[in-house]
Structure formats: structure tokens, C-alpha cells
Structure 1
Amino acid sequence: MTAILKLGLSYLIKNKIQNLFITLLILLSTFLVCTAVIILANTGYQFKEMHSRTNGAHQVLTFEKGLNDPQKVYDWWTAQNGVQVSPLHTYRILSGITLDGIDISNIYLFMMNTPPPPWNADQLVFTAGQESASPAQGSVWIPASMAHSYNIAVGDTVQFKTGAAVLSRKVSAVVVDIPYGAPFSNTARIWMNSSDYQHDFTGFAGKEQHMMGIHFDEYSSRSSYWDRYSKETGAPFLETTMEFESISSFYLIINQIIGFIMIFLGALMMMIALITIGFTISDAILANYQTTGVLKSLGLTSRGIMSTYLIQYALLSFIAVIPGLMLSVFLSKFIINISASSLRTNHGHVPVEGIGAAVFVGLLLFLLVIIFVMLYVQKNRMIEPVQAIRYGMSEIDYARMTQRMNSPLANAASFGKLPVSFVIGVRSLIKNSKSSVLMVLLTSAAASVLVFGYLVLTSITGIDQTAAKWGYDNANIAGVVVDKTMFSRAALQSALEEDPRIQNVGWQGNITGVIPSDVAASITVNPSISLSLGVLDGSYEDLGFETLKGSNPERENEIALGVSAARMLKKDLGDLVDLYIEGKKRTFMISGIYQAIANMSISGRINVQAVRSINPGYEDVDAAFINVVDPSQAGVVAAQLNERFKDAVSIVTQKALLDDSVYKEAANILLYPMALMGLLFILVTFMIIFITCRISIRKENKTYGIYKSIGMTSGSIRSSITLGVALLSLIGSMFGVIAALYLLPLLLEKVLSGYGIVQIPLVLNGWGILLFASLSIFAAAVGCWLASKEIRRASPRMLVIE
């Protein structure tokens, strides 16, 4: 036993750098896999915990069209058993916000008249500031999502625009506001002192609007409540309904993306780690073949020799798994913190789930290492002392290697036909076929991770280039109505018609389409009773709206459905669908199906004639989409129009509308984990290439000694080997780019299909793809070059004698 321990420890000491890198590889594998497990376990956990804590709304009813009496609807719901209802909130729409003298665009605000407690549903949770029953006079509460997006802290003064007037208010608290506090949201509720609200808004033009939240004890029972509502009131609910899926989608989607990427990369890292360990053991056995033969001839058993490797890698795994597990807890908590920042409070630590599962995975990885070691060291049983001493390998392996080196491919790379440096590099790869396959797999994995991460980030930051594929319009300018009491469509339309720079314009309103109860009852998965309908006065095609299949509606009896709505209704192109619009039933033919991240694709598109067939006086406008003759002038035109109509409409370019505070925030959240994973894969590529090249070089000491004895310099030999590895890495990176462009997006689409995105719109930048793909080649080349230092230190004479 003493001899076995000494041999095992001697292997650790002999190959210090190699064993250090293997330890780091196991550590990183544990780190990445366990982080993925914890993030997956926490996907949605914090949202569900906070939603439960606040008795959050499953549906939010907004009364903005005058089609239902808010008080009557509120009274009906408060009389129901099994539901809790928030107060009937009254609010005014603000036309803008200014912070430190700078106008913040692309955020739409509701100034809420804060009701006294208690609230039965849709409660607020304080994350900063002094907790109180209502804001103090002269102050407001703002949601955490808005505070984080614009770096607003307690004590800051913010100016709110209310038409022509401006209200200055001090932020006294930051709160978690579930329905309107999701990350990337551009709508927020500002909570105002009730006395201030009554004083400041008395005499303002227009009328107050109302909203209320409903929390169901059993969310799946909501359709039965709405059936009862329709029967008892004699008509369906006709105002806007925000469903739970829409409330939760932006809270969950980022963690879903990060969780998917981490799980995929964790599994990939685990596979690479185990293959590398197995390869290292195989080559270690081969490198020590003669030594093993001598030891066997001296009486040491195969089991004893196998135990030396088992001791070595068990110790390395034990050293690596524990810190890897500990680091995974810190990283996962960091990622969870930034991805759920709008739910984070300052009154306690962030609860992290899944640590037990991560410990189990760490132990599993440790056992997998041991199992792989036991499988690979079985080769020791087949070592014959005579063959080992004579060939340095088994006679069969020696014959295979000789046959491979005499193959047509090897003969093609001969000294007489190609440059010497190229031949040395290529023949080294052919001779060490297992390590060559590993290098291809490794550089493919690294390139796919780096390129895919780059594509995800650039596709989000460059969303203005693919806006139509995300369900938005593709017009040059968007004007969003922020105060309908101040808005005049005729005035804006006249200004646009007089401006020769304007090419065309479309006017969009939004209404709710209610699914009849007999259709809703047939939906077995995530039943929904309403669709968000976009109503366009203009051409969908001119404004760049796209569909996955079919076309946008052109006639009043046509509708385009979002993919989630079509899936829920089990409808396809040419099918008929019945909807209640403003209390009247209409039948539409499905002309197209599209995807949209907004409302999780539980939506539809119709033209204005469809609504005017029900309500001839329909002129409701929520947004104006404007195309200009010269797109380069879009910024100038938008700024001039916005200055003229800013009291009622926020007019910005398409890029500004999509970038500001929305997808820029998503990119910032994804940046840290994606950058970390990219760096990890570059590091792993470097380490594994270093290990494999070091092993291969040690096996070829005699050959390189002969090269040096006939006049080749150490630098030329090292350059030749590095060139071969770089060429092999180039091949691997090409496979990686193909996987990043075609395979990984397909897998991510499976994750995002539940959020209404079935085809990921990628923004392709050839130079960027080339740069990130080349990083894996660079890491491989550097690893090989550093591993070949032994050639420089070795004496030609000693190498030949050995």
C-alpha cells in the first residue's frame, strides 16, 4: 500500500502544471453546472414568492374606454367568494418626466391616487425609504424597475409633466409594484399623496380613469368567474384586461434565457471535462507504458497500479469540487440579483433555492470522475511487460499507429511535397488522433458559445434592425399618445400632411377582443378570455408589420393572430374565429399568423374598418407610425414634431423607442453572465489544449530530439506544432459557428416559444462573428505554444538517448 501511495503522489508531483489545469477544469465544470442548477431552480421562484407575498393580481382591469362602469364591476367582484380585489384605483395619465433637467423619453406614467390601507390584493412592498400608509405630502413612491433603470434614489426630485403644467415631487420611497414593475417595462405607476392628488389635478381637462387588480385563490378557475359575470350582467367585460401571463412574462424571460444557456453550457462543460480526464488518463497510461511494464515485471499487480491513478484523480476532484460548489452559490446569487432587481428589497437577503440540488450535482460530478477513472485505467490490465518495454505501447496499438502513419492522408503530408513546418504539424495531429478529435470538439464548443453569446447580445441591442420580426412595426418614427385629453388627431394629421418629408402614416388604436365562453371552455391549457387587438387605420405592409405565414388583414372580416393566440384557439390560416368587440360578436377569417414579444403573442391585428362596422364613430388612437422620405432625417423630423406636440404625444424614432430603458436593460443584464461564460470557455480551451499538447509532446520526445539533432531549432519545431493546432482549431471553430447560427437558436426557440417567440430574429455581423470565433483559435494556439516550452529546454542528445 505504501508503494501505491508513493506512486500516486509521485504522479501528482511529477506533472504539477498538468494536474493543476485538470483541477481547474473540474472546478470550472462544477462551478458552471452547479450555477446552472441553482439558476434553474430559482427561475420564477422570486417572482412567485413576491407575487404570493403581495397577494398579487392575476388580472388587472383598466377602464379607459367608457364601455363598463368601474364601480359596478368593482362591486360585482368584491361580492365573489374565492377572489381578493385591490382598491378601485383612480389615476391620471402623465405626459412626461424630467430628471436633473433631462427629459426621459419612452416611459409612460400613471399618477395614482394612493388609497388608504388595507389592500386585499396587489399590495406594494417597500424596498427603499420609510414605510408608511401613504406618501407624505409633496412626495411620491416610484417602482423599483423605474428606480433601477434611471438611477433614481430616495431623496431625488423628479418633475412630472401634466399637459402644460409641471409637478415637482421628491421620491420618498421605492416600492415593488408587481403589475407595472417588470424589468424592461416602459409603463409605471407613480403613487401620490391623496391630498396632493386632489389639489393638483382639480380643474384639469379630461376625466379620471380607473383600474383594479383581481387575485384568484385558484387561478385556473378564472374562466368560470367570467362566465358568471357575463351571464349576470348580460354582456362580457369590454375594457382592457392584463392577464397574468403578460404580467409575469418579462419577470421570467431573462432567467429562462440565462437558465437555458447555463444548463446547455454546463452539460457541455461536464462532457468536455469527463472526456478530457479520460483522454488524460489514457495518454498518461500510454506515456508510462514502459514504466508500468517494469513495475508489473517486479510484481506490482494491475489493481495496485490502477489504484495509483484512482488516488491521484480522487484527490484532485475533491480539491476542485468544493470550491467550485461554493463559487457557484456566489455567482448564481449575483445573476439572480441583477435579473430580479425589480423584485429585490433591502430588508433582507435574497432567498436562494436549489443549493441542495447543487450539492447533489457536485457529488455526482465527483462520482463521475471516479467512474471515468476506473473505466479508463482498465487498460492497465492489458499491459504485457515485454510489449511495454519493447514498443512503449501494446503491439496492437503500435500496429494501428503504424498503419495510420502510412495512410494516404499521412503520405500526402510528406517531407518531399510540402513545407517542413506544415508537415511536422499535420503528422503530429494524425499520429495523435484522439487528442486531435478532442481539440476539434473543444474549439467547436468554445466558438459556438462565444459566437452565440455575441449574437444574442447584438440581436437585443440591435433590435431596431429586426423590430418587425419581434412583432413591432418597422416605421421610421413612432408617436405614442400619452395624454388623450390633450391629443388632437386632426392637428397632428394636418401637420404631417403639410410636411413634404413625410411619406405615409398609420394610426393605431388598441381594443380588447373577448373570446366567447363556448370557445374559451374548449381551451384546455392556459385559458384566456381576451385578446389584445391592434386596430390600424392604414396599411400594415407600408408600416413594416410582418407575419410568419399568411398576410396582415386587408379586409374588415380578416384578422392576423399571434402565435400563442392561434395555438390556444387551435386555429390556422383560413380558419374562422369568433370574437366579441365592444359587446358585439364578429366572425373573422385568419389571414396571417405572427409572433410578438408584447403580450406573449396573445394578440391579434385587425383594420379600422372592422371596428367601424360596429362603431362607425371609432377614432381612438394610441400611436401614430410615420415613415419619412429620407430615413436619415428621421431623428430631425421626430425631434421637431415632438417639440410641437410633446404635451400630448411622445414622438421618437423607432430605435429610441425600442432601445431606451427596455432592451438596453435586457442587454445589460445578459452581458455579465454571457461575458463570464465566454471567458470560462476561452480559459478551458487554453487549459485543455495545453494539457493535450503537453502529453503529446512528451510522447514524441525522441522524434523532436531527432529533429533538433539534424539542425531544426526549437522555435521552428514549436511553430510547426502550433501551426497544426491552429489549423485544426480553425476547422473546429467553423463547426462552432455553424452550431451558433443554426443549432443553438433552435434550442433557444423551444424555450421562448411559450413567450410568443418561435423564430429568434438574429442580427448577423460578419466581422463580429469572425472575431469571436477566432478567440477559440487564439486560445488553442497560445495553449499549444506554451505547452511546447519543453522542446526548448530539452537537449537533443538527451532526447535521442531517451
Structure 2
Amino acid sequence: MLTSMLKKDMLRKKSITATLFIFIFLASVLMASGAKMIVELTQSIQHLFTEAKAPHAVQMHAGALNEAEIEQWARDNELVEHLQIVEMLNVDGSQLFLQEESEKASVMDISFVTQSEQFDYLLNLQSELVQVGEGSIAVPVYYKSQYGLEIGDQVKFDTGRYSATYTISDFVRDAQMNPALVHSKRFVISEQDFEKLTRVIQEREYLIEFRLHDFSMLKAFTTQFQNSALPQQGPFVDYSLFQLLNGLGDGIIAAVIILISIILNLIAILCIRFTMLATMEEDYREIGVMKAIGMTPSMIKRLYMSKYVALALTAAIAGYAASFAVYRLFTQNIALYMGTAPQTALHALVPLVAIALIFGMIVLFSYMVLRRFDRISAVEAIRSGSTGEAGRSKLKMSIHKNKSLSVPLLLAVQDGWQRMKLFRLLFFVFAISAFIVIVPVNFYNTMNSPSFISYMGIGNSDIRIDLRHTSDIKERYAQLLQTVEQDAAVQSHAALVTSQFKIANDEGSYDNLSVETGDLDVFPLEYMEGRAPQTMQEIALSYTNSSELGKSIGDSVVLQVEGQDQSFTISGIYQDITNGGRTAKARFAANEDNILWYVVSLDVRDHSQLDSIMKQYEEQFAPAKVTNLEGYLEQTLGNTVERLQLLVVVGIVIAVFLSLLITALFMKMLIAKDTSEIAILRSIGFSLSNVRVKYLSLMLMILLLAVVIGTICSNTFGEALVGMVMASFGASNIRFVIDPMQAYVWSPLLLFAVVSLTALGSLASIRKTSISRSIAE
């Protein structure tokens, strides 16, 4: 009997059944897709690192080194399993042509290497070891994504005195240097070509790489290495940092997808409640009849639960199946940069658990709503045919005393006030729809704004000039400063030097700390807490460093300066998503024995001359990296911003679709509930247009209030949510850059247009209402 009744009910109420199915289906698709992306990201990173045999610790070193000394230290260290020293030939970007233009404007540090021998393998797009023949080259996958390069394209290296052309035979996945956030890229050439270039390229850099017997001993090894006398003229990075940097861009996208999924699940639950209330409203007399003939509340609930369980199960399974196609939209970048990991049980299990949670929540929520059957009186249900739960407020607004509002608008205001309980769910759905449009738009605008540079630990300037390590770097730096100071086109400038210091840890030994020193006032950072260092005894830490050290404003840290321990007071904490977020700022002198890089930032007087000024400095100080702010952000975050733009489109489509669907459903329920009232209004002289104006005004007033609340929540609670997502990447205090037209005009107008058109379409059914029959009923 239950099966027969269930089948007839679904066929009779096709629109409501379809609406409920769509809500659950959509929630399931997004939740499963988000879960799949997280699994794919973590598994692909792990697969890449396993296949590449990524090093556990790497000391980057520029300058001469004694390989025998390093090998002896490694042999004597019981933690070390393997040591490998990788030689890299540093290439000036102006000498490398991947397209018609050279890479002189690139922020990337380019190096030529050969395939590694023991570990830290460079892989191709099939996750196999790159094998390069003479005259061929394997190009980092970053450039395939950036320029659309293909196998067979030409790469030209030209110093003026020496020229060579290579054919692209493969693209490189590099566990160390894959992501755009890492401004170093390795091109793989053959042993023969490498040998030729060693006689042409003088600048060398080395990667001193270690694999440990036990990865859990990495911290102990790091302490031992950083307290040794081995070469350390460059950053020290480890396995965990490699994983973080590889997962950063896609991790942000995955986190935003999960955030949207959670919000959509909330909308789905609210809409399910709407659907169930609409069904209950239509079936009220039938429920009363069932009670009158002796069916117990548990039997009636079981009948309705059967319907919702069947719907939820079918929609969840369909959503799970559809997620296999949908999530590929967001994992293309993962597949390109890290490859597709072999399928494991987790690929199927985690999304299934996510779907099961959706299903369980819907079943539990449905049961809670159906408890209302316990309170239904059979006599009252048969007599009234309505729940009457939207209890009218006693507040009345007198029509004849009103001077400012038209009668239909006045009735709309009064109806909304009197039945607030009925309309609150519609309000929440509209508010959340505004939220899932505005938050991704604001986040996209923030990441796409020049001010986002402040979250990278960099001051806002017109031009940034980076000097990489060369044998004459100090002389070139001094010459650059002299030129900038004498350049009339330069309005202001700041010279900053990043060097490495020893910082005391809790174990009584020392770790390395990268400290940027110089004039911090010309292009200041925005600080989360505190301020920039103002004296020689103060230091500012990045958010990640302060968290790891457990330090806050006013605390002290001990650094080794010129061989002596000195205490410095923490004056400020800033955000930095580059270099793993482990940096510091200070005013004391740089450590001349361990300079990492030099940066000169400057503002120009005439912005129309910006390109020509950049070209002048590129030519005069090659191989310096001369970039403007827009170019720096584009090369570093462009790929992430593009995928975030896709998420913005998805969020808008979903919000519009939900607003359309819930408006149609609500209007159907409201018209069914108000049939008698509509007939009375018609009978006393209200025209069809008057009635429609009343209901349309009511919907738009609810939408207006919802959009206002949704916008406020987007700019407060939304910022906090995005901050929580970004906290693990080194930026927990994100401040949205808001485009007023997008946030306050176009987004609300879009929702207003969708709701208005949907409401008008639904109100067309009022024409079919029979006045006499409706009043009689």
C-alpha cells in the first residue's frame, strides 16, 4: 500500500518532487566534487613526490663550495640516507626565448640542469623520468600553462656571442619548483648540451639535497645542518614546504569549493523545509482524513519518510555520479602540474562519506519536520484545510489613514509583517544566495587587485628590481642604487636586502631566519598587529613565523648578529604567502656573509613612461628582474586567479538557479495558501494587476532586505571565512577589495531581475482562479 501511495504521490506532485530532487542533487554534486578535489590534490601531490623521490631537505647555495666536505659531513651523520649535489646553470631571462619575446620581463629565475642521478627526479607528463637527447629541452610545465607551448616548439638561447636552439621534447613536473609561487624554474637539457653551456654560462647555483632514513627526524636534522659550518648562502627548504607550495593554489580553490558546498547544503536544507511545508499545506486535508480513519502519526510519517528517503537516495546517487564530470573542471590544473594519482579506495570512499552525510542530514531533518504531524488535529485539518501556522500578527495598518503608499504596496507591507514566520526561510535563502555571489566576487577582486601584493610581504611600488646572486652582485647593487638616486624620473625608492640570520629556538640551538632589512617606510606593509620596526632593536615577523615560534607583539627573539646573541622585540606581525610565509623585517644591518637577494623598489614621476623606464633598467642591469606590480602578480598568481574566476561564474549560476527555483516554489505555495484571500480581493474590486503588484512587491521587499543583510555578512563574516582558508597559507587577515558596482549594483540587480521575472511568471496562474468557487471553499 505504501509503495502504491508513494508512486501516486510522486506522479501527482511532479513539480515539487522534481524541485526537491534538484536541491538534493545539486548539494550532492558539489559536496562530492569538493571532496574529490581534496582527495585528488593530496593524492596527486603524494604521488608526484613519491615518483620524483623528492628530497627531504634542500640547501640552496650560490657561490663556490667544497663537495668533499659536504659528502664527509653527510657520511658522518647517521640521519642521512642519501646526499646529492645538483649543479644549476643560471640563465639570464633576456637570453632565453620561449616565444618571439625573451623572458627578460619574467620574475622567474631560470636554470639549466640535467636529470638527477639518485633522487629529486624531474618527471614528464606521464610521470616518468625525463630523458632528453642532444639538441632537445624539457620545459617546466609552468610555461606550457602560461604560453600554451607544445612538444616540437623551439626554445632559443642567445647570449650575443653564443647561440643555440633546442626543440621541446617534454614538459617537466618538478616537485621542488612546480608552482608559480616558486620563482625558480629548472629546464632539463642533455649531458652534452650541459657540458657545452658550462663554458658559456659562468653563474652557478647548487642544490645540496638530502634524503633521510626517517622523515620524522627532519627537525633534528635541520637543526644539525643549520648549526654546521657547511655552505648556507641561500634559502633552506624542506619536504613540508614543498608540499605546502605545491598545494597552495589548488588548495585555495578547493577550500572555496568546500565553502560554497557547505553554504549550498544549508540552502538545500532550508529549501527542503520549504518543499515539505508546501507539500504539507497541499495535503493538509488528506492528512486529516488519514488520521480520521485511524492511521497513527507514525504510519503517516513513515509514508512521507518513504518518499523523502527514496528521493534523497536517488538524488544523492545521481549527484555522486555527476560529480565525476563536474570535478574535472577544477582538477585540470592538478592533472597538468602534478599528474593523476593512481585510483585508491580513498577516491571513492571520501566522496561517498560526503554523500552519506548529505543523505543522513536530509533524512534526519525530514524526520524533525514531520514531527509536526503529531500536533495536527483531524477535525481541524478537515474543516480548515490549512495549517494556519503563519499566525497573523495583531498589528494592523489602516488603509484610509495611509497617505504615502498605494493600497497594493500597503497590503504587501502588512502581509510581510503579519506573516514573518512564513517568509523568514525565503529571506534566508535570498540572503545566502547574495552571499555566495558576493563573497567569491570580492575574493576574486581582492586577489586580482594590486593591493594583494601586501599579502606577499611586499610593499606597493611601481617597479620592483630583483638582483639575483652573481659573482659581482655587490658592485652591481651599488651601481643600481647610484643610478636610481640620480635618475630624475624616479620619485621615490627603497633598497631592501634579504639575508640569513641564526635565531635561537626552544631547544637551545639555532634555526635560520630570512630577514629583510633596509628602509621599510617608503613602501610600507599593512600589519595585522603592531607596526613596522622603528629602532635597531625591533623586528617584525610574518604571521607563519610568529605562529610557529609562539610569539606575539612585545615578545623577544634572540638572533646571532656579528657572532653575538642579541635580543630583539617584536614590533609587528604581517602577512606573507611567499617563501612558505617564513620571513621577517628589521632595520639593522644585513648579514654580509649570507646575502640571499637584493631588491630595489621605486615609484616613477610619470606613469606614462613606466614601460620605457623598465626597459632602460632591464638593459642596463641585466640579468636583473625588472617587473611592474601587475606583471609580478600575474606571473605569480595568474593561474589561481583564472580558476577563481571560474568559481565566481559557478557561484553566480548556482545562486541565480536557486533563487529562481525557490521563488517559483514559494509563489506556488503562497498562491495555493492565499486562494481565498485572492478571491476576496478580486470580489471587492481589485484588478489582476493590483493583486500581482501586491505579491511582487512582497517578494521584492523580502529580497531587498535579504540582499542588504547578505551583503553585510559577505563583507564581515565572508572576510572571516576567507581569512580562515588563507590562514594556513600565511594570510589570516584578508580584507576584501570591493568593486562597488559589482557588489552593490550588478549582483543585487541580477537577483532582482531573476526573482521579478520568476514571480511574474508564477503570478500568471492567478488569472485561472474562480472567485466564487475559491470563496466557497
* TM-score using structure 1 length: 0.88
Change beyond 3 A, Cα 1:729–1:230:
closer
- Stretch deviating more after TM superposition (417-426 or 48-57): 417-426
What is the SS of the residue equivalent to 2:573? Answer: strand
CA contact (8 A) 1:38 1:353 kept: no
Query: In the TM superposition, what is the alpha-carbon distance from 1:25 to its structure 2 partner?
Result: 0.7
Change beyond 3 A, Cα 1:499–1:561:
same
1:189 corresponds to 2:186: yes
Match of 1:418 in 2: 405
Distance 1:234 1:621 in 2: 21
Change beyond 3 A, Cα 1:263–1:417:
same
What is the SS of the residue equivalent to 1:764? Answer: coil
Distance 1:76 1:452 in 2: 53
Change beyond 3 A, Cα 1:194–1:364:
closer
User: 336, 358, 369: which one pairs with 1:376?
Assistant: 369
Distance 1:568 1:513 in 2: 17
Match of 2:279 in 1: 284
Query: In the TM superposition, what is the alpha-carbon distance from 1:757 to its structure 2 partner?
Result: 0.9
What value does the CA root-mean-square deviation take over the aligned residues? 3.2
Residue type at the aligned position of 2:395 = S
Match of 1:111 in 2: 111
Distance 2:3 2:129 in 1: 68
1:534 corresponds to 2:519: no
Query: In the TM superposition, what is the alpha-carbon distance from 1:212 to its structure 2 partner?
Result: 2.5
- Stretch deviating more after TM superposition (579-588 or 140-149): 579-588
Residue type at the aligned position of 2:351 = A
User: 426, 429, 439: which one pairs with 1:442?
Assistant: 429
Distance 1:71 1:379 in 2: 81
Match of 2:99 in 1: 100
* TM-score using structure 2 length: 0.90
User: 728, 750, 764: which one pairs with 1:789?
Assistant: 764
Change beyond 3 A, Cα 1:746–1:78:
farther
CA contact (8 A) 2:614 2:626 kept: yes
What is the SS of the residue equivalent to 2:591? Answer: helix
User: 243, 247, 263: which one pairs with 1:248?
Assistant: 243
Query: In the TM superposition, what is the alpha-carbon distance from 1:437 to its structure 2 partner?
Result: 0.4
Match of 2:34 in 1: 36
1:211 corresponds to 2:207: yes
User: Percentage identity across aligned positions?
Assistant: 18
Distance 1:320 1:586 in 2: 64
For structure 1, the residue ranges without an aligned partner over 5 or more in a row are none
User: 553, 566, 580: which one pairs with 1:600?
Assistant: 580
Written as runs of structure 1 = structure 2, the 5 A alignment for 1:2-151 is 5-66=3-64, 69-77=66-74, 80-85=77-82, 87-96=84-93, 97-104=96-103, 105-114=105-114, 118-119=117-118, 121-127=119-125, 134-151=131-148
1:668 corresponds to 2:645: no
What is the SS of the residue equivalent to 1:637? Answer: helix
Residue type at the aligned position of 2:632 = L
Distance 1:255 1:424 in 2: 51
Deviation string 1:281-314 (CA, Å, 9 cap, x unpaired) is 2343233323433454455554554444233323
What is the SS of the residue equivalent to 1:542? Answer: coil
Match of 2:774 in 1: 799
CA contact (8 A) 1:722 1:785 kept: yes
Residue type at the aligned position of 1:61 = Q
Query: In the TM superposition, what is the alpha-carbon distance from 1:482 to its structure 2 partner?
Result: 4.7
Change beyond 3 A, Cα 1:442–1:667:
same
What is the SS of the residue equivalent to 2:527? Answer: coil
CA contact (8 A) 1:552 1:591 kept: yes
Distance 2:297 2:530 in 1: 69
Query: In the TM superposition, what is the alpha-carbon distance from 1:56 to its structure 2 partner?
Result: 0.6
CA contact (8 A) 2:467 2:477 kept: no
Distance 2:599 2:357 in 1: 55
User: 161, 174, 178: which one pairs with 2:175?
Assistant: 178
1:506 corresponds to 2:501: no
CA contact (8 A) 1:63 1:239 kept: yes
Change beyond 3 A, Cα 1:792–1:560:
same
Match of 1:343 in 2: 338
Written as runs of structure 1 = structure 2, the 5 A alignment for 1:173-572 is 173-204=170-201, 206-229=202-225, 237=232, 239-298=234-293, 302-339=297-334, 341-344=336-339, 353-393=346-386, 397=388, 401-402=391-392, 404=393, 406-408=394-396, 418-462=405-449, 464-482=450-468, 484=470, 488-516=476-504, 519=505, 521=507, 529-536=511-518, 539-572=519-552
Distance 2:222 2:182 in 1: 28
Query: In the TM superposition, what is the alpha-carbon distance from 1:195 to its structure 2 partner?
Result: 1.7
What is the SS of the residue equivalent to 2:733? Answer: coil
Residue type at the aligned position of 1:500 = A
Residue type at the aligned position of 2:525 = F
Query: In the TM superposition, what is the alpha-carbon distance from 1:177 to its structure 2 partner?
Result: 0.7
Residue type at the aligned position of 1:138 = G
Distance 2:129 2:354 in 1: 45
1:700 corresponds to 2:674: yes
CA contact (8 A) 2:156 2:166 kept: yes
Deviation string 1:63-96 (CA, Å, 9 cap, x unpaired) is 1155x53542244225544434453111221111
Deviation string 1:231-271 (CA, Å, 9 cap, x unpaired) is 7x557845431233432223222343333333333333223
CA contact (8 A) 2:515 2:586 kept: yes
Distance 1:293 1:577 in 2: 74
Distance 2:401 2:272 in 1: 32
What is the SS of the residue equivalent to 1:484? Answer: coil
Residue type at the aligned position of 1:552 = A
What is the SS of the residue equivalent to 2:716? Answer: helix
Distance 2:441 2:130 in 1: 47
User: 718, 722, 732: which one pairs with 2:696?
Assistant: 722
Query: In the TM superposition, what is the alpha-carbon distance from 1:609 to its structure 2 partner?
Result: 2.6
Distance 2:380 2:401 in 1: 29
Change beyond 3 A, Cα 1:240–1:423:
same
User: 588, 593, 596: which one pairs with 2:568?
Assistant: 588
Query: In the TM superposition, what is the alpha-carbon distance from 1:741 to its structure 2 partner?
Result: 0.9
Distance 1:708 1:155 in 2: 76
What is the SS of the residue equivalent to 1:552? Answer: coil
Query: In the TM superposition, what is the alpha-carbon distance from 1:702 to its structure 2 partner?
Result: 1.7
CA contact (8 A) 1:532 1:599 kept: no
User: 649, 652, 657: which one pairs with 1:678?
Assistant: 652
Written as runs of structure 1 = structure 2, the 5 A alignment for 1:157-176 is 157-160=154-157, 162=159, 165-176=162-173
Change beyond 3 A, Cα 1:163–1:574:
farther
Match of 2:727 in 1: 753
Distance 2:421 2:325 in 1: 36
Change beyond 3 A, Cα 1:161–1:264:
same
Deviation string 1:727-782 (CA, Å, 9 cap, x unpaired) is 11111111111111111221232232232112114212111112224433433333
What is the SS of the residue equivalent to 2:589? Answer: helix
Deviation string 1:555-612 (CA, Å, 9 cap, x unpaired) is 4443322122222223334443223468665543433322211123311123463436
What is the SS of the residue equivalent to 2:379? Answer: helix
Deviation string 1:14-37 (CA, Å, 9 cap, x unpaired) is 332222111101111111222233
CA contact (8 A) 1:257 1:748 kept: no
Distance 1:722 1:217 in 2: 71
CA contact (8 A) 1:184 1:665 kept: no
